[in-house]
Every structure is written in C-alpha cells, then in structure tokens.
Chains A and B, each alone.
Chain A
Amino acid sequence: MIEQIPHILVLLGLIASAILTYYFKDLLAATLAAGLFSFLISLEFYILQAPDVAISQAAIGAGLTTAIFIIAIGATGRFEGESS
C-alpha cells in the first residue's frame, strides 16, 4: 500500500495537468501544461516497468512536440482568435 502512493500522485497529476491544458486561454501556458502531462505520463510508464516507452515518450512528447508547438504559436498568435 505504501509503495502505491507515488503512483496515485502521478495519476492525480496527470488528471490535473490535462484539465489545465483544457482551461488555459494563453496558448503558451497550455503548451507547457501539455509538456507537463507528457513528462508525467513518461514517469507513469517508468513506474509500470516499460523504460523503452518512457524514453521515447520523454524525448518526443516532452521535448520535440513542445518545441514544435512553441514554433507554431510564434508563427500565428498567442491567444485564440488573434492572428499575430
């Protein structure tokens, strides 16, 4: 039971970061919340003993996808309905 506490905390953090991604009006903050979601899900994969998937999720989800989203936000606009 005591070793499940980090697992439960990671699951609650996943739900919280997903809600934050949905509710932020600032798209840059929403992108950073999505990066936090990706990092937490890679931690979850590591807890479930799948280090292969954890490495690829941490590199692609938390690194490259966030960079691509930030580049796209820089090219368009920071808030919804705004065209730079």
Chain B
Amino acid sequence: MSRIVRTAADIIYPFILIFGLYVVAHGHLTPGGGFQGGAVIATGGALVIVAYSYAEVREWLSKNVLMGQEVIGLVGFIGVALIAFAFGQVFFFNYLNASGSLFGIPVPYGINAGELNTGGFVPLMNFSVGCEVWGGLTLVILYMLSGLEKEGC
C-alpha cells in the first residue's frame, strides 16, 4: 500500500489496541467482553497486515507467539474454572465473588456506579478468552496471507 495508508495505520493501531484492551478489562461493567475485545484487537492487526506486505509483517508477528497466546488462553480458561475444585465447589463456580481478595468486592442489588475490582473470576475469564481470540483470529489472517505468498501472486 501507499505511504499514506501506512502512516494512517501506524497512527490508528495503538488506539485500536487500547480500545480493545478497555473492552476486555471492563467486560463485567460495560457492554463487551473477552470475545468482542479480542475481535477488535484482531481487526487492528488485520489493518496493519493489509497496509504492509507479508515479508515485513512476518518479522514483527511470530506465528509461534500467536499460537502460544491462543493455547495459554484456552488452558487458562479451563484452569481458572478447575480451581473451583480446590474450594470444594463444582466446576465453573464463582469462588472469588465477595471473598474480599482480588476482584472480590460484593455488589448490591440494583442500580449502582460499578467498581472495577468486582466480578469474581469473570475478569480472569475475560482476559483468557480475549487472549485466545486475539491470537486465533490474527493467526488465521497471517496463515491465509502466507498461502497467498506461496502461490506467487
């Protein structure tokens, strides 16, 4: 692409990254969540991949790092749910809610202002799923672009 597109992509990409991380981190307070935030970040990655050529992008984004990010996301999701057995509860029980520790402030019923340090294990789940979707969807576009380079188009 031309120099204008590359400069615009350089300027816009940090803002897309910060917005996606905001959607992931505030998933238990505002609309959004892990899947949506990860998809927003992957769209920003697709913008950079489209603006530059594959040979340049391949030096910045490693396929092994993205695949490891995806594996860490899925394993972390299952692991956070499995820790509930250590508390003597069933699978997917929200053991951190109203416990007073990390993300453990109790929430009253009704309309309230919202506090970032609430939610039990829901923010941890959001970060796991966001990490997985970020890695997975960027990896799909990167692999398709590598197949296009191999055909010699």
Question: Is A–B contact present in the complex under a CB 8 A cutoff?
Answer: yes
Instruction: Report which A residues bind B (CB closer than 8 A).
Output: 51-52, 55-56, 59-60, 63-64, 67-68, 70-72, 74-75, 84
Which residue on chain B has the smallest CB distance to residue A50?
A: B31
Chain B contact patch, size range: 20 to 34
Beyond the given pairs A67-B46, A74-B148, 16 more chain A to chain B contacts, judged by CB atoms under 8 angstroms and listed by A's residue number, are: A52-B32, A52-B36, A55-B39, A56-B39, A59-B36, A59-B42, A59-B43, A60-B39, A63-B39, A63-B43, A64-B137, A67-B141, A68-B144, A70-B50, A72-B144, A74-B153
Q: Is B131 an interface residue (CB 8 A)?
A: no
Determine whether the beta carbon of A64 is less than 8 Å from that of B148.
Answer: no
Q: Which residues does chain A contribute within 8 Å of B50, judged by CB atoms?
A: 67, 70
Determine whether the beta carbon of B153 is less than 8 Å from that of A84.
Answer: yes
- Which of A51, A63, A67, A70 counts the most chain B CB atoms within 10 A? A67
Q: How far is the CA of A52 from the CA of B34 in the complex (A)?
A: 11
Q: Which residues does chain B contribute within 8 Å of A52, judged by CB atoms?
A: 31-33, 36
Q: Which residues does chain B contribute within 8 Å of A71, judged by CB atoms?
A: 141, 144-145, 148
Determine whether the beta carbon of A68 is less than 8 Å from that of B153.
Answer: no
Q: How far is the CA of A74 from the CA of B50 in the complex (A)?
A: 12
Determine whether the beta carbon of B36 is less than 8 Å from that of A56.
Answer: yes
Per CB-CB distance, the 10 closest pairs between chain A and chain B, nearest first, are: A59-B39, A51-B31, A63-B43, A55-B36, A75-B148, A67-B46, A56-B36, A71-B144, A59-B40, A59-B43
